[in-house]
Structures are given as structure tokens and as C-alpha cells.
Structure 1
Amino acid sequence: MIQKKILLLSVSAGAGHMRAAQAIEAHANLAGGTAVATHLDVMNYVSAGFRKLYTDFYIKLVNKAPALWGYLYHVTNEAQADSSMQRLRRGVERLNTRALLREVEAFQPDAIICTHFLPAEILSRALRQGQLTCPVWVQVTDFDLHRMWVHEHMSGYFAANDEVAFRMRDQGIADARIHVTGIPIMPAFAQAPPRAQAAAALGLDPSRTTILLMGGGAGLGSLDTVAARLLALDGDFQLIVLAGNNAAALAALRQLAARHPGRLLAQGFTDQVERLMACADLVITKPGGLTTSECLAMGLPMIVNSPIPGQEERNADFLLEQGVALKAFDGVTLEYRVRHLLANPAKLAEMRAKAVALGRAGAADAVLARVLAGAAGAATTGAATTTGAATDTGAAATDAGVAA
């Protein structure tokens, strides 16, 4: 059997795009030899100045001036594709991504999956000019669709839900190119250990209500401040706090844990978040597309906090509308929400049932199956041409009405 070479392209501006690509890569490399996947960060193939502007500026903006980021999100979503500013932006991107095109050409992929809009935009032009002939697919990584994700000559789009698919059709993408798969997450979230086993490994009581706190800040306070406020509540529950790479927060949490023996587990960086989620009854988190998809796959109700204006606000709206999350905008609201759910286990159970119904642990496998079918069709028919994109069956088509 000849393995298909799948190239995954993402951008290290925020973690979600990268994690989606890594998830597809992990699933591909478990697929029994039908495909081999390689993931590249586009920022490793651009100039230092462009990389600093694209990643550092974005991170500083969402952390220091989120309202400005929200404004830019909406303005760019409404911008005309042929405006002078959009043409200038695309010109700057082309000048700074030539090394990426050389790397793609050297790799000789059978198919490409973009989990960020930048490589999709760059490859759209390459397809139009005949510099690239393999199918290119786009995986949207939020419960929303920004205009910058939509480009000509893409073989297909993967949507998180039916509403995102509806928005894709409204942007002129043909229905046959749209596939509602969910957002890809790592295989481990479909293979998490039983609650009792995970709790025993972490020194937790599996019979006690457990809350997982995955982020503070932006109105809630630092992790140790939020944890202290929660531990002061009435009720027999235990708390897991994920500090990640924040050494200062982890040290403060461990001091707090010493004052609350048996009630607080302070956890640093881990690549086994699914084990923490397997112990939890409720997650407090920012509403990123990947994290919330992981929670849904584990059937976990959420309290979402501090959404970044733009994509995370839209994610939060979706989760609230579906009844799987509540929203906290400050420490007082968070305390109220937690009190309410602890006092109403039936409400928590209802949210859990709705989360289970929405979970798509197999999203990456669905994406891969479609891409591999398309790659096989393209190889048979020679579908990816300079005049348009291949459909998911490999037949050549054009994207009339979809802006470059």
C-alpha cells in the first residue's frame, strides 16, 4: 500500500490552530499505514520581522487591548477582498512566505490541510497560478467563520457545526465542498481512562464532585485568587487547577493546597489533560475552540470566562445557546455560577447530557477520511488544476463567487 503524504500547515499565533493540526497529525499516524502526516508551522518559513508582527503582535493585542482586537476582527470580516488595504496585506504576505512555497514544493504532498487562514490564502494564489496542483483543504478551528478563512480553489472546508456550514454557504462556498466534522482533537480524548482510574492516579476521590479550573485573569483574578475564592464555598467538592507553564502560579497554588489538604490539586504543565478532565464534573475555562471541543468530547459542562472579543465571544455564544455552558465575567459572577450548579445537580446533569450530544471526538478521523478520498480521486483524475479546486471526490471545479 502506498501511503498518502498529508501536509498540515498552521500558524503559532495562539495555541488552537497548532493543536488542531497536531491532532490530525496524530490521528493520521495511527491510521494503519494509509497516510503519513507532517505538520509545519508557517512562522518557521517567514522573515523574523513578519513572524514578530504576526504572532507577538497578536498575542500582545489580545492580552493588552482585547477591545481593539475585537474591533479589528469585525472590521476585517466586513472588508472587501479587493480593497487597497486587503491587496496591500496580501502583497506583504506573499513577499514574506516564499520560503514556505519552496518547502511545500519540496515536500510533494498528496494533500494539504490548513488549520489557519494564512496558509490557505497563500496556497489559493499558488493554485490559481499553477504553482501547486495537489488538493488543499481548510479546517476552521472555532464555532464561527471569519471572512479571512474563505478563499478560492480550496478542495473543501471542515466546519465545527451546522451554523458554521451555513455561514460558509452564505460566503459562496459550494455545499458539496462543506463537511460538518467538528474540530479535531487529540486521540487521547476518545481514549481517556475511567474516572476511578484517573482519580486514583492523581490522588483524588472519584466519588466527590470535582471542578477543573483552567484559567483566571481578565476580571476573575489570578489562579490562586480564584482557587481560594472557590475553596471558601460551602459544599463537599475538590478542585484541580491547571497552571501550565506558569511557575509562579503553581508555587502559589501549592501553598494554598497545603492549607486545604485533600481539596486542591495544583497541576503544572501536562500533555495528559484528558486525565484531569476524566475526573471532573465541571470545567472553568476560556472559550477557545480546541479546549471547548475537548470538553464537549469528554461530556463536560463549562463555565466560560474572559473570552477574547471576536472568535472566542462567538464560541461562548454558541456554547451558551446549546445549554452546555454558563458565563462568568468577574469573580462574583463565577462564585454565583458555581454555587448555583453545586446546589442544582440536576442542572449540571442536564448540561452534561447536552455536552455529550455535541461532542465530536472523531472529528480528526472524519477529516482524514474525506481528505484521503479526495487525494485518491485527484490522483486518478488529475483533478487539481490551475483553473479551480478539486471537489471532495477529486473532480475539478471552480469557486465562482468566493473572493481571493
Structure 2
Amino acid sequence: MVLTVAPGYGGPQRLLVVSADMGGGHEATAAALEQAATAVWPGVEIERLDTLDVMGPGVGRLFRRIYVGNVEHTPWLYEFFYAQLWRHAWFARASKRFTGSWSGRRLVERIDRFDPDLVVSTYPLASSGLAWLHAHRGLDRPTAAYVSDIAPHPFWIHGALGLNYVVHAAALPHARACDPDAVVDVCALPVQRDFHPGPRRAARQSLGLAADALVAVVSCGAYAFGDVVRTVRTLLDASERVQVVAACGRNEDTRARLQALGLPERRLRAIGWTDQMPALVRAADLVLSNAGGAIALEAIASGRPLVMFRPIAAHGEANADLLVVSGLAELCADEDQLTAYVHSVLRDPGALREVAERAHQVASRGTTEESLRQVATSTPRTGGGRRWRVRPSDAFFLHADRPLRVQEVGAVLELDPVAGGRLTLADAQRTVGPRVHGLPILRRRLVDDGRLGWDLSGTADLATHVTAAEAEHGMDAALDDYWSEPLPPDGFPWAVRLLQAPTEGRTVFAVKTHHILGDGISLLGLLDRLLDPAPDDPLDERRPAPGTGASVSGRSGIRNGVRQGRLVVAGLASLATSSLGSWTHLDCEQTARRLIATAPVEEARVRAVAAATGCRAHEVVIAVVAHALADLLGSAGLVDGSRPLRAMVPVARRAPRLDRVFGNWTAAVTVDLPVGAMGFRQRLERVTAQLRARAARGEPQAAHVVMQLLGHLPAPARTVTARTIYTRRFFSTIVSYMPAARGDRWFAGAQVRSICPVVPLAEGVPVTAGAVVSSGVVGLALVLDAALVARDVDRPAATEAVLRAVRAAEDEVLR
């Protein structure tokens, strides 16, 4: 298959939408923004966060309970708080600073994990958090707040954000009064495109509503605030010609009370949460609300008259006032006014057309896509020259650097020939260039001015970071040379090189980054964004696993916390106990030169061995590595079988996927690889037993906790600690196994045949191993210190040892 490479789309590649499940309006606005982003930037990856869930277990439930309780039972208290935000600027600033510090600190890890290049908020506490991150943590991504009500309040508007959007020009003075430093603009109504003007008759037919009735849709939000039953009775009592559809959201009690009225559907239809709101709004003659949130914007977008009846306290009354002033709604303060309004509409239906025309004028003003483009090209407003901090687990690998042991991870991609010629440097730069602008990880420049931080204000020079070379002395030697030279010294810790060996018929795309940018899983996620998938590939690997990041609250959260705590304690004990054992230290000189031995193997061969032994594929691969190292190092006299090789095996703390592109998130377990004389099956049994036992004892969780604790040490202490524990004192090799994309991938039109990882060496550790599964191939690779050549361990011997180990597995298990 030949893939035509499309040019980069020149927009954001990763959009983070920060919202909250507080009613339905914030989530509705978030859904509208996601829909618009997908339309304007095809292929954009989107993640939505619930701010309240991020703020901590149980926070969402607590805040929702407080909100509902205030609106329903103590509206005076809710109104008092709302009024104080407007009356006292110091109170508004203090409240925003408190909530911003809380939510902002909790958002840091989620922003690092997803590494977005654009962030939008649809919830006030999310906006506070993002503003705090701009001012106090150097958040360097374009951000915007979309106000999902027509009337903004001080919690909505923030001067530290790049843009603050309101939905009507009448709201601009209010927004600027909230924060005079804020950049405020008017955007199109942020509603999903299903809300649009359309034939009323067709909508009624599809829903089974009366064609000749005055249809009133009553929607009081997700919680159905207020006396909905009283509202419905007033409408029904106004005329026999009225048919009411009451959308009760999640309030099943209100729905049951309405159904208990025993009225036929031609007069009353009470429904719960529904996805038919676009059709219901189009079918309506009137849309009634008491809050004025999402349903108000949806009615306006659909060109339907809006009535605000008995608005709820605080933001409900503010929305009603501004909607009326803007000519977009009628206000009925009591039952008599509502009855009179219904009578007037029945007498003069033409009045509704005037309201619908005003709504249409507002709805047809611009598009949500235009505002998103504006946000994407805006300049982030970072405060005080602050830079986004380097996470402790990332900085660890910078502290672990030694002159002869630089922590650089990478991958060797073997490419198929391209039709009609060969790839060129221009092809590589044309492919990588647009993606550099869309991936913040490739724009990160490391700055150390007393505190490690990331600067995203510049862009790496493609001529320096995207290079090509002829493999004059063979491809293997060219790879050795590439991994033996340092990364460019300009602070951008990544580089790629296109290598050509015409006499061998080989083309390789080599990628390397400093470990500070991310672990192997993050590298594979980044790599997948540099490659092109098949047009029909659903890219499932780029989506988070179901339930990833989900909040657990209440008793379940407590039980989960207790279980995790026990695992950590058990894991710490296991780590401490295992460190007392003895293992083989590989004694040899250290050099800066690396030898890269690659050995791609068909995945089916590994899966067959796994199926026959009841093991998992990664367990088979690690046993293959143990078998190969026993053969390779044993023949050189570096191991004698009396003591094992202590291997550090990185382990993902969740189902490994390609949804993240930045950061070190994996933990590790230690496994004593048996390197004595034995058959493959016996070696596999020992490796498998250790892997499962150590994972069950909580070693990955404990290793993660240790890494976090190290981050709280002073910088000099972190360096000393990293250079103490990331050495032969604690392990003698590293063995990594990672899944990449299952579907085929192309680079600059050339299909990727295999991906072999390059795992960096550590102090006193002269050999590492890694495997990547992609497109039906397991790419195995050993990284050797060139000093091992003096001990008769070289690249060809390493490659052959791996292939012999695979054959040994098949011979013993399958035959």
C-alpha cells in the first residue's frame, strides 16, 4: 500500500477542554467546542477533564450538593455570595486566588500527562485554575474561557487568560468590570450544530407532538430547579391549546410528580435526561427556563422565543436581566404575567416571529470555529517570567546524567523502500516540520537559571534537529555513530536523523530524546504523531483507556486509597528486601560509544510461545532477553551462572497506550534474570514467577512513591541520590517491553517495517535491552558499551544471541 502524505494541518494537535459536571451547561458548551475543534482541525486529539474530579475525591459530589442546596433551600445565601463578588473586588480576588490555587495545582499533572498545545475552559473554577497556572507556574499554552451563560460574573473572567469569551455584546461591560485587565471578546453561541433553525412541523412529527398546539418546552436545567410543577400547571391552565413538554433532567422526583398529574400526552409530556433536545427546541413555540444557561443559548441558536419565568437566585436573575435587555427573552416574574404572556401569544402569533428574528441575528453572527482559531494563534500570558516546572520524575534523569552515561532514549525505525526513488532530507524536514509546531514537546527548551523549567517561546531549528546522512560504512555503524554523539546543545532535547545505506538497500529513521522529555511509552506516543496512519485507522491506541483518570469518591474512594496504601507499604518492603540480595555486576570499562544491535522478530512467533506456555507476550520477551544475555555474556566470561543479573523492568501503572507524548510515568520492578545453564522453558518459568510476584507485592506503586519523594529533596540532594540509585549498585541491566501502534505506519511515504527501542545505559551498566511491538513485529534491540568489544561482545554477536534465543524458545516449547 502506498500512502500519500498529507501536509500538516497547521493547527493544534492536542486540545484540552476543562469543564465540570455541575448542571449540564458547562458540559454542553464543552461538547460544542469539541465538535467545532474537530471540524476546524481534522485529526485533533481532544481530552476533557472534570475540574471537580481533578480537585480531589468527593469534591464534585460535595460542590454539587452545596450548589443544589443553596439554590433550592437557601437562595438568599447564594445571592449574598454572588453579590459580594460584585460588591467587593478584594473578596472576588481572594476567592479566585484560593480556588485557582487549589484547582491549578491539581491540574498540573493532567496538563503534563496530556501535553496539550491549546486549553479551553467552560467552568469558572477551571478558569481560575488556568489563570493561576499562568501567573504562578508559567503555563505557556494558549488558553481561553468560554462563558456558558449570557451574563458573566467575576469568577468567570480572568486577566491572566489569553481570551475570555462572552456570547453577546451586551455582556462586554459586565465582563470588563469583572477584571479590567482581561482580554474579552464576543464569540458565536457555543452550542452544538444540531441546534439550528428548522421546520417546526417536521420536528413535531418526529416527536409525536400536536401540530396545532402552542408547544411550550420547559427546561430548568439538569437539576430542574424551582417549582417546575407550578410552572407547568400555570401554562396548562392558561389555555386548552397549550401542550407542555417538561424536560426534568436528572430530577426524577419532579418528573414523577408531573406524571402523577395523570394528564394525557396531548397536554403534558414529562421526560428525563434526553438527547432529543435539538428537535424539542425546534418543535417549540416557546422555551421556558429559570436559569438561562445552556438551554437559553440553544433556544436562541434555534431561533425560538425564550421566556425567563421566576429566575433562580444570583446567576439566574443576572441572565434573565441581560437576556431581556438584549431583546432575546421575555421575563415573567409570576404566574399572572406568564398567563398573560401566553394569552398575548395566542392572540398575536406574529410577536413570536419578531423574537425569533432577533435570535436568528445573534445565532448567525460568526462561528465557534472562528473563535477557536483566534485562541490558537493568541499569545499565552505568563506572569513574572516564570517557566513551567520540570516534574521531579523527569528531572531525575537529568540528575542521573554522567559524561559517559547520558540518558537518551530512542528508537530505530526500519523503513521500506519508496516507489520511484529514495527519501531525502527535504522529505524528512517536510514531514517533521509541521508537527514540531503542533507538538509542545518538540518546542520545549530546557532552561536552568537556578530552577529547571521549560520554555516554549521558541522553536527548534529544523536544520539542526532534523538531519540526514549516508551510511558510508554500513547502517549498523551509522547507528552506532548517531547514538554515540550528543544531542544538539541548544536546549531542545530531541533529534531525528534519516539514514540511507544504498549498498544494503536499507533506510532508517532514527529518533532520540533525552529521558527528561519522557519514558519509552511517551516516546512511542510522540513517535506515532511523527508518523502517518492509514486513512481508515481508528487510532484507538491514541485514546485513553476507558476509565483512565476517572475519579473515585465516597466509600469506594476510601477503600481504593487503603488498598493502594497497603500495596505501597508492601512494595517498599519488597524493594528493601530485594536490595539485600546478591547479583552479578558486569565489570568493564566505560566509554561514550554505543553499539546498537537490532533484531526484529515476527510477533506471531512470540505469541505462539506465549500461548503454548500460558504466559504473556512480555514475559516471553523478557525471558528471551535473559536467554540471550546468558549466552552472550556467558561466552565472554562476564557471567558464570552462580548469581543472576539484576534487571530493572519498567512497568506502566495503567494499561499502556499512546495517548500521552510527554513525561516519565512508568514505575519499575526488579527481576533477577537467571543466566545459568538451563533450558528456555525453565528460564521462562523463573522470569514469569518473579514478574508476577513483584507486581503483586506493589513494587511499581512503591517505586512511583519513591520517585515522588525524591522530588521534594533539595536540588543537590536529588543529584546525589539519582547518581547513587541509578547505577550498578541497584541493578545490572534494564529490560523494557512496550506496545506501539497495531496498525501500519508511514514516514514521509515509506512504510515502517519495524521499531526497535534504544534503552540508555546507566553508570556501571554496560548493556540494556528493549522490545517494541508494532505492526506484527517485535523489534528487539540490545545497547552495548563499545568497551565490551574487548571482552568479545560485539554487535553481530549480540544480534545472533537474540535470534538464537528466539529459536531456542520455539524449539523447546513448540516442537
TM-score (norm 1): 0.81
Q: CA deviation at 1:180?
A: 0.8
Q: Report the alpha carbon displacement of residue 6 of structure 1 after superposing the two structures with TM.
A: 1.1
User: 1:362–1:268: structure 2 CA closer, same or farther, 3 Å change rule?
Assistant: farther
Partners of 2:142 and 2:162 within 8 A in 1: yes
Aligned counterpart in structure 2 of residue 194 of structure 1, from 199, 210, 213: 199
* In the alignment, structure 1 residue 298 sits paired with structure 2 residue 305: no
* 2:274 match: secondary structure: coil
8 Å CA contact retained: 2:144, 2:161: yes
Deviation at 1:150, TM superposition (A): 3.3
**What whole-Å deviation, never above 9, does each CA across 1:211-232 have from its counterpart, x for those lacking one?**
22224764xx443x54344333
The 1:209–1:196 alpha-carbon spacing in structure 2 relative to 1, beyond 3 Å, is same
Residue 164 of structure 1: CA displacement?
Answer: 2.2
Q: Does 1:272 align with 2:243?
A: no
Q: Give distance in 2, aligned partners of 1:166 and 1:235.
A: 43
Deviation at 1:276, TM superposition (A): 0.5
Amino acid aligned to 2:311: P
SS at match of 1:212: strand
Query: Which residue of the partner structure matches residue 23 of structure 1?
Result: 32
Greater CA drift, 279-288 or 164-173? 164-173
Q: Which residue of 1 aligns with 2:77?
A: 68
User: Does residue 326 of structure 1 match 2:330?
Assistant: yes
Alpha-carbon distance between aligned partners in 2 of 1:351 and 1:62, rounded to the nearest angstrom: 29
Cα distance between partner residues in 2 of 1:202 and 1:290: 21
Q: Determine whether 1:184 maps to 2:158.
A: no
Question: Conserved in 2, the CA contact under 8 Å of 1:303 and 1:326?
Answer: yes
Q: Tell me, in whole angstroms, the C-alpha distance in 1 between the residues paired with 2:176 and 2:254.
A: 45
Structure 2 matches for 1:217-256, cutoff 5 A?
Answer: 218=226, 221-223=227-229, 225-234=230-239, 236-254=241-259, 256=261
2:115 counterpart of 1:111? no
1:203 alignment partner in structure 2? 208
Is 2:129 the counterpart of 1:125?
A: no
The answer as to 2:146 corresponding to 1:159 is no
Which of 279, 285, 290 is residue 281 of structure 1 equivalent to? 285
Deviation of the 1:364 alpha carbon: 2.7
Post-superposition offset of 1:108: 0.7
- Give the CA deviation at 1:316: 0.6
1:24 Cα deviation after fit: 0.7
Pairwise CA distance, 1:75:
0.6
**How far did 1:115 drift?**
1.5
Question: For residues 377 and 144 of structure 2, what CA distance do their matches in structure 1 show?
Answer: 12
Q: Provide the C-alpha distance between the structure 1 equivalents of 2:83 and 2:24, rounded to a whole number of angstroms.
A: 21
Q: Equivalent residue for 1:145? A: 152
Give the Å deviation of 1:46: 1.6
Q: How far 1:9 sits from its partner (Å)?
A: 0.9
| Alpha-carbon distance change, 109 to 212 in structure 1, aligned in 2, over 3 angstroms | same
Cα shift at 1:105: 1.5
Q: 1:19: how far off?
A: 1.9
1:78-106 CA-to-partner distances (Å, cap 9, x unmatched) read 3334x6x9547734653565332111121
In the aligned structure 2, how far is the partner of 1:280 from the partner of 1:53? 35
* Cα distance change on mapping 1:233 and 1:147 into 2, 3 Å: closer
What does residue 22 of structure 2 align with? 13
Displacement of 1:160 = 1.5
CA distance in 2, matches of 1:59, 1:272: 25
Contact kept in structure 1, 2:38 and 2:44, CA below 8 Å? yes
Q: Which residue of 2 aligns with 1:313?
A: 317
In structure 2, the gaps of 5 or more residues are 1-7, 387-455, 458-815
Asked if structure 1 preserves the Cα contact closer than 8 Å seen for 2:235 and 2:339, the reply is yes
Quick one: percent identity of the two aligned structures? Answer: 25
Root-mean-square deviation (CA, aligned residues, Å) is 3.1
Residue identity opposite 1:310 in structure 2: A
Q: Contact 2:242/2:267 (CA < 8 Å) preserved in 1? A: yes
**Cα distance, 1:350 vs structure 2:** 2.0
User: How far 1:384 sits from its partner (Å)?
Assistant: 5.9
> Measured at CA, do residues 331 and 137 of structure 1 come closer, stay the same or move farther in structure 2, by a change above 3 Å?
same
- Contact 1:142 1:183 (8 Å CA) reproduced: no
SS in 1 for 2:195: helix
The structural deviation recorded for 1:51 is 4.0
The higher radius of gyration belongs to 2
